[in-house]
Amino acid sequence: MCESNAYIITSGKEQNIIEGVALMEIKGSLIRLVSLFGEERVIEARVKSLSLVDHKIILEPIS
Amino acid sequence: MCESNAYIITSGKEQNIIEGVALMEIKGSLIRLVSLFGEERVIEARVKSLSLVDHKIILEPIS
């Protein structure tokens, strides 16, 4: 299983927004995250980093 | 192993730019990709999608 967890940085801290992300799609400033469990989140943010070793997708708010 | 391969869409086709990506970092319009094998690429592009099921990171040129 290679899914990752997605976090958004809020006040300098990583806040988990969705677990088990299988798919991420970006359109303009919107990021759509879909988990293996069928959960879906659409969030206005930017991708900061992705670590497939740590299974972490890090997003940051659009300032 | 959860690394992914990164592709950039050129003339509507996916062109492989680096394999075995373990880390991706984004700063402005620059995307830095680092593979498990120590290979590194920095490319001016945007992330279009990420499929952790297909192990694919899809980038698109900045138009």
pLDDT one digit per residue (tens) for chain B, 63 residues: 678 999 999 999 999 999 999 999 999 999 999 999 999 999 999 999 999 999 999 999 997
pLDDT of residue A26: 97
Interface test with B, best of A19, A24, A30, A50 (most B CBs within 10 A): A50
The Cα–Cα gap between A45 and B13 comes to 27
> What pLDDT, on a 0 to 100 scale, did the predictor assign at position A25?
98
Interface of chain B against chain A, CB under 8 Å? 2-4, 21-26, 46-53, 55, 57
When CB atoms are compared, the residue of B4, B25, B48 closest to A52 is: B4
The DSSP annotation for chain B comes to ---EEEEEEETTEEEEEEEEEEEEEEETTEEEEEETTS-EEEEEEEEEEEETTTTEEEEEE--
d(CA B60, CA A60) in angstroms, rounded, equals 20
Beta strands in A11-39 (DSSP E): 13-27, 30-35
Residues of chain B with Cβ-Cβ distance to A4 below 8 Å are 52
Intervals of chain A under pLDDT 50: none
pLDDT at A1: 61
A31/B6 Cα distance (integer angstroms):
18
CA distance B15 to chain A (A): 18
